Structure 1
Amino acid sequence: MADPKPKADELAGTELPFVQHLVELRDRILYSLAGVVLCAIGLAIWPGPGGLIDFIAIPIRNHMPPDAKLIAVGVFSPFFVPLKVLLMSAMIAALPWLMYQMWAFVAPGLYSHEKRFALPLIFIGSLLAYIGIAFVQFFVLDQMFFFIQGFTPDSVAATPDIASYVQAILSLYLAFGLAFQVPVVVMLLVRFKLATIQQLKDFRGYFIVLAFVIAAIVTPPDVISQLALAIPMCLLYQVGIWGSRWFNKFSRTPEEPEAADKT
């Protein structure tokens, strides 16, 4: 009996010249910038740069005297800090659009089953990033400043500089937004057969140590923020292991045996 005819590669003949790749990259960058600009314009109209700063300053203002305010030490801080906060907020608001543009750039080189699971990953990754940032804004900062203010002597007036405050929370937003991508990374490791579910389970103890090391490096030197980053990373690692089984079934090609999910 003759062997069945091998299935044709659906990507055969779709290669683009290098110049066209550069053109496509340029277009995706321009689309991304346009999305950020539109979000920035919308946020500039409402709630405005002042409203954004008032919002992100809520956690520290809750632990300052009622009549105290953040100060601007630098000469140009009253101009550049609100602009920086506006651009930061616009990039956060446009995050799903930015991730979609990244996917659209690489989509022509993906197989149909890979395209099918790329969009859910964009949604999951964006949602996890938003959860991480919200976790910082509504829990971590409040607990962190409560902890820090507890060590402030009565003779010291805590009047932080707005520029240093914005820089600190930006680093925390970035750290937690990236750290909350752990389930996505775990699912991709399993999907592309870089690791099996059993190997990830065996690595769990090492990952716990690694999570606390990362938290100690990227967060301020206080116990609250370090625990607030390390513990969710450990929990999300386990969520990624659980989600890998579903993700394998969802993204499996027709040629792959179902037994591959049981690794």
Structure 2
Amino acid sequence: MAKKNVNEMSFLDHLEDLRWHLIRIVMAVVIVATFAFIFSRFIFQDIVFAPIYMDFPTYHYLCEIAQLLKIDSTFCNEEMPLIIQNRTMAGQFSADIWTAILGGFLISFPYIIYELWKFISPGLHENERKHSRGFIIISSLLFFVGVLFGYYVITPLSINFLANYSISDLVENQIDISSFIGLVRSSVLAAGLVFELPIIIYFLTKVGLITPQILKKYRKYALVLVLVLSAIITPPDIASQVIVAIPILILYQVSIYISRIVVRNQKRKAK
């Protein structure tokens, strides 16, 4: 049976359509997660646990900077002062399952965006669909850039700071595997979603909820919010917060520019 025109679809038809899009998304994530589970040893040893070792690229470059400035830094240590341990019977299995699911979500993100776009696009005008063809590529690119930023910047900064923070020599950092993976997962996922800010602003501007004037007016409040967000997803040292805050502020400025373009195009069409 031919698919109904979007204007002829009832509310229940839209829900049914959405349900099938979500089913395909879940199937894609599960399929990719299955492959991630099969290659879990490689994923854990070469990706998840890589920031524990001091030959990780971030530590190498930051150590060179510290040596250039002639300051002592934990980035130049020979090893990370922490031990990853498991204290529950199903701890390693649970870590494997959830890491595979996260990997399935990250790798399937372009397809997830594609399915969501297929659900939204029928409600747009032809010219709007034409000008939004790069949506999947741009949103996926921003997401993956954010994921890389979270993995190579936020994650190693957090691990290095927290592993070297000590209240007494009597206390050893024997970190539970769920706590460690939770830090890596939240850093990577949060950064990936934060980097979607320009896309979010684009759609909020399209529906009239946001304008460039509003973004400019509340820029100082956004600065405070960015600093708070940076403090949440990074360790509580000023350098790490500044490193994380800079790209977010750049994204906010880019979002203002995007919002201005959307409003300009809407006014041009109205004329």
Instruction: Say whether 1:56 aligns with 2:48.
Output: yes
Judged with a 3 Å threshold, the aligned counterparts in structure 2 of structure 1 residues 239 and 13 are, in CA distance, closer, same or farther, namely closer
Instruction: Say whether 1:176 aligns with 2:195.
Output: no
**C-alpha distance in 2, partners of 1:81/1:14?**
46
Match of 1:17 among 10, 19, 24: 10
Shift of 1:18: 3.1
Q: Is the 8 A contact 1:70 1:159 kept in 2?
A: yes
Counterpart position of 1:216: 231
**C-alpha distance in 2, partners of 1:64/1:53?**
21
Counterpart position of 1:9: none
Amino acid at match of 1:108: P
Judged with a 3 Å threshold, the aligned counterparts in structure 2 of structure 1 residues 182 and 18 are, in CA distance, closer, same or farther, namely closer
Shift of 1:224: 4.9
Counterpart position of 1:31: 24
**C-alpha distance in 1, partners of 2:81/2:258?**
49
Judged with a 3 Å threshold, the aligned counterparts in structure 2 of structure 1 residues 254 and 196 are, in CA distance, closer, same or farther, namely closer
Shift of 1:158: 2.5
For these two proteins, the number of residue pairs brought into alignment is 244
Counterpart position of 1:78: 92
Determine what percentage of the aligned residue pairs are the same residue.
29
Shift of 1:60: 2.5
Counterpart position of 1:122: 136
Shift of 1:248: 5.4
Judged with a 3 Å threshold, the aligned counterparts in structure 2 of structure 1 residues 219 and 146 are, in CA distance, closer, same or farther, namely closer
Matches of residues 125-204 of structure 1 in structure 2 within 5 Å?
Answer: 125-152=139-166, 154-204=169-219
Q: Give SS of 1:255's match.
A: helix
Shift of 1:68: 6.8
Q: Is the 8 A contact 1:182 1:236 kept in 2?
A: yes
Q: Is the 8 A contact 2:81 2:163 kept in 1?
A: no
Deviations 1:28-82 (A, max 9, x none): 112112211221233344xx11211221111133378489752111110121111
Unaligned residue ranges in structure 2 (runs of 5+)? 55-76
Shift of 1:16: 0.5
Shift of 1:163: 0.9
Shift of 1:101: 1.1
Judged with a 3 Å threshold, the aligned counterparts in structure 2 of structure 1 residues 71 and 182 are, in CA distance, closer, same or farther, namely same
Amino acid at match of 1:240: S
Unaligned residue ranges in structure 1 (runs of 5+)? 1-11, 258-263
Judged with a 3 Å threshold, the aligned counterparts in structure 2 of structure 1 residues 242 and 253 are, in CA distance, closer, same or farther, namely closer
Match of 2:258 among 243, 249, 260: 243
TM-score by length of 1: 0.79
**C-alpha distance in 1, partners of 2:208/2:151?**
36
**C-alpha distance in 1, partners of 2:80/2:231?**
32
Q: Give SS of 2:270's match.
A: coil
